[in-house]
Amino acid sequence: MNPPTRQTISAAVAADDNQMKKSIVSISVVSTLLTLSGCSGGIPEKGRFIDHVQFPATYPATTNLQNLFSPANTHPTGVVIDPQLTAYPQQIVDALLAQWPGPRPNAQVYLVPVEDFTSDVSAHGAIFLNAGLISYFHDHPEVQSEDTMAFILGHELSHILLGHTVANRQNKEIKNVASNAMKWGSLIGGKFAGATVSGAQAALSSMGTKILVDTALFPSWTRGQEEEADTLAVDLMSKAGYSVDTALSVFKAMEAEDARDTARRTASVANGQTSFHVDNFTMTSKRGDALDASVINELNTVTQEHPHAADREAASSRYINREYSDRDVVMLKNKPFLAWVNSKPVMTFLKQSRLLQTATEEIAVQNWGEAHKTLARVGAPLNSSQDWIYLTAVTDTHLGQQKQSGQLLDEAAHRDDVTLPIARMWGEKLSKAGKTDEAETYMATEQEAFDDRSLLTDRITNAKRAKNGLLLDKLILQCAASGDDGLQAACSSANK
């Protein structure tokens, strides 16, 4: 079974006061999903991709960290801002970006303290490196070169350069509907319109689950987007003087991760547990619930069609052999990478990220005393991160240390890098303290800043506490107008 995530804890904490009721994904939402498609110009049959790209005239810019960090800041982990840690990977990004013939976005590198072997990118040009990815590089000599890291960073940069992130951001409203529906159990239910297990599988197939997985759960890219990003990354690497062959070693590492994921799924099924995992999102069926298990198995089956590492390796290998068969031998840049990955700041970051994961696991089983001890061992820079503050605030609250929890949340809730879970906790704390006007002002501001309507449920609870019928009616209307069945059910529950 996969270890508990901060997302799991966040959902559990939110469910303490608002038990979300299950509903069915509406046909209108699914029909809309079927119209989505990735931005894919396609790889030319001859010639290098970079020479055929129709690049955008401009790229979106923002000075608002909440927009820049989305969607990473919708999770409790948030983003770690530490130029000392990111100066080296930022140099690699800048070297790759210098090879781009079009306008150049302000692509900046940030770290995320989670153990996943992934990297992500935001709609506004932030590139996120996860602790688990850096840890893998540290532990495996076969990928320890700047060239290898250049492919990973180049892949994420290419999503920005090719306009994939903008295309995904333009479909954000539809994605929110689908993602929220899944998060709140709208797709996984004890009943599926009275359908049998086999009927549920047929319904999922007709509802276009493949498109749901490929386009609705950011940052799952379409097959065409992934192939384009891989190919452009290879072109940028070559122009910057990196060895393009190292791209293939990255896919080998990803294939190993795929094999481990498959083994974990097999083991969980053998133990009576069934789960569906994509990017940073996990759903687990209830033990003994045949319909839950059936639906999740169907999702897992469909995701096998997503561009996995072996398919991506084959496509990149064909392209490299086609366009770079006469390439000169390039000496790998090992020393600068080894100096960085073994440096004290990086080692400290990895150690502290593991401590946060340990605390997450302890909190998941309500071992509050041990979680408190673990969190006390976390030092700079992560003891000022939104992740540490969130976990510490949850722990302090359950240990009855309300004053300490309130002080932490007050400071974190007003920072530019605030996460959505902390914003929700702070709004709830204000509301419970009787500061309902202040709570409404804060949550309304954050709902707009995050562009996330899930805060409507918290605002409804707050309006009921304030006995503000006019505001309550207004918020209920906003829920009704959202077109999101999951959100509407949550709002209805909050209003009871």
Q: What angle do CA 278, 55, 178 make, to 5 degrees?
A: 25
The DSSP letter of residue 190 is S
Evaluate the CA torsion angle 91, 149, 278, 275 in order and state its sign: negative
Distance CA 212, CA 203 (A): 13
Question: Of the candidates 4, 14, 21, 13, which has an alpha carbon nearest to the alpha carbon of residue 458?
Answer: 14
Rg (Cα) of the chain, in Å, rounded? 23
Question: The pTM is what?
Answer: 0.78
Whether the Cβ atoms of residue 303 and residue 278 lie closer than 8 Å to each other: yes
**Which domains can be identified in the chain, with CATH numbers?**
25-340 (no CATH), 348-494 (1.25.40.10)
DSSP-based helix, strand, coil % in the chain, nearest 5: 60, 5, 35
Instruction: Confirm if 134 and 98 have CB atoms less than 8 A apart.
Output: no
Each residue's pLDDT tens digit in the chain (496 positions)? Answer: 444 556 555 555 544 444 333 333 333 333 333 333 334 457 888 999 999 998 888 887 776 788 889 888 988 999 999 999 999 999 999 999 999 999 999 999 999 998 877 788 887 889 999 999 999 999 999 899 999 999 999 999 999 999 887 666 554 444 444 444 444 333 333 333 344 444 434 434 433 343 344 433 334 567 788 899 999 999 999 999 999 999 888 888 777 766 666 666 566 656 665 665 544 445 555 555 554 565 566 555 544 444 567 788 888 999 999 999 887 767 788 999 999 999 999 999 999 999 999 999 999 899 999 999 999 999 999 999 999 999 999 999 999 999 999 999 999 999 999 999 999 999 999 999 999 999 999 999 999 998 888 899 999 999 999 999 999 999 999 999 887 777 888 899 999 8
Token pair in block for residue 99: 């090879």
